[in-house]
Structure 1
Amino acid sequence: MKNIYLITKREFLTQVKKKSFIILTILAPILMVGFGVLIGFMFKANEAEYHFEVVDKSGLFAGQLKSTKEITYTFVPPNTENALIQNLKNMEGTDGLLIIPELKDRNFDALENGTKLLTNKKIGMDTKNAVAADLSNILKKEKIKQLGITEDKIINLDKNFQLISQNVAESDRPETDLAFGVKTALGMGLMYVVFMFIIIYGVRVMRSVLEEKNNRVVEIIISSVKPFELMMGKILGVTLVALTQFTVWIAMSVAAAIFLNAGFSAMQKNVPAGQEEMMKNLDIQQFATEVSHLLLDMNYATVIGVFVFFFLFGYIFYSSMYAAIGSAVDNETETQQFTLFAIIPLTLGLYGSFTIMNNPDGPLAFWLSIIPFTSPVAMIARIPFGVPLWEILLSIFLLIASTLLMVFIASKIYRVGILMYGNKATLKEIWKWIRS
């Protein structure tokens, strides 16, 4: 244990003292926020505003076809149709001409088939669909009116049914859409954190092993410690590095949330006259309070405990595999054929967990959260929805047993492979190392 402690300490200090680690730890959250803002700006920058002139020969759409921020409709007399068509190519400020034919004998199908949109520039499918939706909504109202139904009844027909659900086995209160959304966001967020943690820092363990192997430094280290102690020290050292980064990022996120909340509260106190209703709709503080109450209503002790356990043991399980891969190859190019054994089951667990939202107690959700290769991500995605205790204990037992087995197998591969040079390891040779 002393040797493992010394190697863990050395691996941790070596990593955290690097300038790249310090810069990445501080800038990563800022870069992620900036990247999100940049993506939003790119979508915003590519938005376009269109101005369409409308020739309405039916007389149904005048006064009902409303302009939006993206599309402006201007109605023109029907007798200008031919002139507008001839000059449309050279018209500035007008992007298209919407021609609606006459409505004969209340034949709405003929009117729909005869409607045309002529443009002098390329328009996106979203814009075309938006124009079609605007026309369809008006025609729908006209068809309903033809049946003798009033406007109030039309509005009542379009009203969505609000279904209140309650799981009497778990709670004595109904579950709102917000509660379901919070559970989904929490499960997906925690699952994605574990997935990225295993991938990023597992690869870091592999590269560290490969670097020391290629530099022949490991030959000196092995003379003083056992290969198993070296492997576990590296795994635990990188684990502490990752936890340090996450701690800093969480602290920065909390500080940013407090700062933004204080700034928004101050802005609410100085609302200009006439803007109270708008600010009421943007009451982030009230929304955050509702979300926090929902989180507290959960069995958060179980959620946190399960997350920490599967977070750590899932990482040890896969990082042992990565350490074995790093010791069995001579360069990073050769790692690609072996890393698939780690990436594929994790990816299956990640994408398979998206189905958990529709049926958290389904057979796929059960098996993904029990099988050790997928349980580190699937169980975490499932736990906010509530999991029977016996399933949690079974999954924990299988993951502990599988982790010990994986560490044992990885140590046997590591023991031989760490001193192998110039010989490309095959699956057959690796199997011999395990059996030896």
Structure 2
Amino acid sequence: MSKIWIIIQREFLHRVTKKSFIVLTILMPFIIAATVFVPVWLSMVKSDVPQKVVVIDDTGKYLPQFRNNESYSFVPALKMEPEFRSDTTDVSAVVMITDDLIQHPEAATIYSRKEVPKGLSRLVNEVLNEQIRHDKLERYDIPQLEDIMSDFETSYSVRTVKWADDGTASESNSLVAMMSGMILTFLIYMFIMAYGGMVMQSVMEEKTNRIVELIISSVKPFQLMIGKIIGIGLVGILQLCIWGVMLFVILGVTGTAFGYSALQSPDMTGAMMEASASPVSDDTTSLLAALYNMDFLKLGAFFVLNFIGGYLIYASIFAAIAASVNEQEDSQQFMLPVTLLLVFAMYAAIASADNPDGPLAVWCSMIPLTSPVVMMVRLSFDAPMWQLILSLCILYGTALGLIWTAGKIYRVGILMYGKKPSLKEMFRWILYK
């Protein structure tokens, strides 16, 4: 046991003292927090000077529908002027309508010196479509048409509230749940590939340099393999813990700056009243309220447990592959199926976001080779606790079996040079006593 501990210490200290580890550990929480709050902040930032858009309406009925906003200022004109096309003009675009759009749908065009912004194109289409609908309804000579249209076009968005086990209510949002699940899914995928790759690289370096021949004169091959897996895994756990603490602080500080720290209160009425006093839009209020009402402790705990289980499975596979080959190029034939499994798990997780309790999501969250990735999506949608626990039991049981199997391959392959073993031969290594 003392020898395994020495190997663990060596692998752990060798990596945590690297500058790349320190820099990535410090910067990543800020990058993750930025993906959450920067879009919110950008949605609040508007241009000080709206872009000038000229509207040439030969019919006269579409021009009054264009109203200025914070992004665009619509200016009427009688005809197309040469200066509109000049590089020195302050006109960003020209909307030209030459005829009735019901009779001639091709009569409207947006001209610009560069690609027309999607926001402007969407706004113009909305204005024109609204007038077209109005004109079509006018043909039916409906009394009080303006009042009917105003009432008809009022949109409604239902509020979503989630009950906790103790009966308290909290604001929920499917978009927040999906995004948090996808972020956790991507992190699991990234960590498994990164730290599993570290195990593979470490084994191949020692085997290529023949250092392993000296090492196993003092320790058993299985001790060396398990020491590497645990040591590198502890590096990942340390990094996760640091990121968790930093993210908690960053989200708390940023949330307070946005005025949403009180949204975790179980009193939904008071929370929403406080949120409504914020200058941020109602949609942003709902998103941030749902974000701060999430069970971060549960998400963090199951994230770490799934990471450890997934890492043990794939790290043992990577260690067995590295011990069986002599060159980096030789590992590609074995790495391809493993990589495809993780890619399939990612696609299954993305598909499961729309139906987290569907057959694909449930089965892929139970299969140990895909469950660490897929379960992160279901976790954010409150998957049943018994399924979470069953998935972990299957995951760790499979991990122990694969570690034992990888150890059998590792003890033979680590000292084999100059020969590419076949899968049949590797299976025989497992049966050796």
Shorter-chain TM-score: which interval? 0.7 to 0.9
Q: Pick the aligned partner of 1:132 from 125, 128, 153.
A: 125
The 1:258–1:340 alpha-carbon spacing in structure 2 relative to 1, beyond 3 Å, is: same
What is the CA–CA distance in structure 1 between the aligned matches of 2:182 and 2:316, rounded to whole Å?
25
Task: Please state how far the C-alpha of 1:193 moved relative to its aligned partner.
Answer: 2.2
1:55 counterpart SS class = strand
Contact 1:88–1:120 (CA<8 Å) still a contact in 2?
A: no
Aligned length: 410
Given that 2:196 and 2:311 are in contact with CA atoms closer than 8 Å, whether structure 1 keeps it comes out as yes
Which deviates the most, 240-249 or 420-429?
420-429
- Once the two structures are superposed, residues 237-269 of structure 1 have per-residue CA deviations (whole angstroms, 9 ceiling, x without a partner) of 00111111222222322333344455556xxxx
Q: Give 1:406 shift.
A: 1.0
For 1:337, the aligned partner's letter is: Q
d(CA) in 1 for partners of 2:229, 2:247: 27
Q: Offset at 1:379?
A: 2.1
Matched to 1:64, the amino acid is: Q
2:210 paired with 1:213: no
Write the letter of the residue equivalent to 1:225. V
3-state SS of 1:110 partner: coil
Tell me which residue corresponds to 1:194: 188
Letter in structure 2 aligned against 1:281: V
Aligned residues of 1:164 and 1:174 also touching (Cα < 8 A) = no
Partner of 1:110: 103
State the alpha-carbon separation in 2 of the partners of residues 18 and 91 from structure 1: 52
> For residue 272 of structure 1, what is the aligned residue in structure 2?
none
- Counterpart CA distance in 1 for 2:77 and 2:146 is 27
Aligned to 2:280: 281
Q: Specify the code of the residue in structure 2 equivalent to 1:17.
A: T
Q: Which runs of 5+ in 2 are unaligned?
A: 260-274
Mean Cα displacement is larger for which, 111-120 or 352-361?
Answer: 111-120
Partner of 1:25 in structure 2? 25
Residue type at the aligned position of 2:12: F
Q: What residue number does 1:61 align with?
A: 62
The 8 Å contact of residues 97 and 119 in structure 1, kept in 2 or not, is answered as yes
Please give the TM-score of this superposition, normalised by the length of structure 2: 0.79
Query: 1:287-436 residue pairs with structure 2 within 5 A?
Result: 291-295=291-295, 301=298, 303=299, 305-436=301-432
Question: The residue matched to 2:54 in structure 1 has which SS?
Answer: strand
Q: Which letter maps to 1:73?
A: F
Of 229, 234, 237 in structure 2, the residue corresponding to residue 235 of structure 1 is 229
Taking the aligned partners of 2:382 and 2:41, their CA distance within structure 1 comes to 39
Question: How many Å apart are 1:132 and its aligned residue?
Answer: 2.9
Summarize deviations over 1:300-331 as a string: whole Å, max 9, x none. Answer: 65x55543332211110111011111112223
The alpha-carbon distance between structure 1 residues 335 and 35, as it changes in their structure 2 partners (threshold 3 A), is: farther
- The Cα shift of 1:222 comes to 0.7
Worse-matched range after superposition: 190-199 or 370-379: 190-199
Cα distance in 2 for partners of 1:305, 1:262 equals: 25
- Using a 3 Å threshold, how does the CA distance of structure 1 residues 28 and 223 change in structure 2: closer, same or farther? same
**DSSP 3-state at the match of 2:64:** coil
Partners of 2:341 and 2:161 in 1: CA distance: 35
Give the whole-Å Cα distance in 1 for the aligned partners of 2:323 and 2:413: 5
Q: 1:350, CA displacement in angstroms?
A: 1.9
Q: Distance in 2 between matches of 1:136 and 1:433?
A: 71
Distance 1:185 1:123 in 2: 30
Task: Please give the alpha-carbon distance, in whole angstroms, between the structure 1 residues aligned to 2:116 and 2:427.
Answer: 60
Q: Distance in 1 between matches of 2:118 and 2:4?
A: 61
Per-residue CA deviation, residues 382-427 of structure 1 (Å, 9 max, x unaligned), is: 1333334553444333223321221122112211221122323333
Partner of 1:6: 6
Q: 1:100 and 2:94 equivalent?
A: no
Change over 3 Å in CA distance of 1:404–1:102 after alignment to 2: closer
Structure 1 CA distance, aligned partners of 2:424 and 2:208?
23
**CA–CA distance in structure 1, aligned partners of residues 239 and 294 of structure 2:** 28
In the other structure, the counterpart of 1:183 is 177
Q: Deviations over 1:44-97 (max 9, x none)?
A: 9xxx986443322211023221244554432123xx45xx3x676557424554
The one-letter amino acid of 2:56's match is V
Please give the secondary structure, in 1, of the residue aligned with 2:96. strand
Deviation at 1:208, TM superposition (A): 0.8
| Aligned counterpart, 2:246 | 252
Change (3 A) 1:316 1:63: same
Q: Secondary structure at the match of 1:419?
A: coil
- Structure 1 counterpart of 2:5, which letter? Y
Q: CA deviation at 1:230?
A: 0.7
Tell me which amino acid in the other structure corresponds to 1:13: L
Residue in 1 aligned with 2:266? Answer: none
5+ unaligned residues in a row in structure 1: which ranges?
266-275
Aligned to 1:156: 151
Q: Which amino acid aligns with 1:138?
A: Q
SS at 2:102 equivalent: helix
Secondary structure of 1:63's counterpart equals helix
Contact 2:170 2:290 in 1 (8 A): no
**Quick check: 49-58 or 286-295, which moved more?**
286-295
Aligned-residue sequence identity (percent) comes to 32
CA deviations on 1:265-300 (whole Å, 9 max, x unpaired) are 6xxxxxxxxxx999532799997566434538xxx6
Tell me the amino acid that sits aligned with residue 99 of structure 1.
M
Q: Tell me the CA shift for residue 41 of structure 1.
A: 12
Q: How far apart are the structure 2 equivalents of 1:190 and 1:121?
A: 39
Identify which range, 325-334 or 113-122, moves more after superposition. Answer: 113-122
1:159 deviates by: 3.1
| Structure 1 CA distance for aligned equivalents of residues 337 and 148 of structure 2 | 60
Choose between structure 1 and 2: higher helix proportion: 1
- Partner Cα separation in structure 1 for residue 165 and residue 23 of structure 2: 46
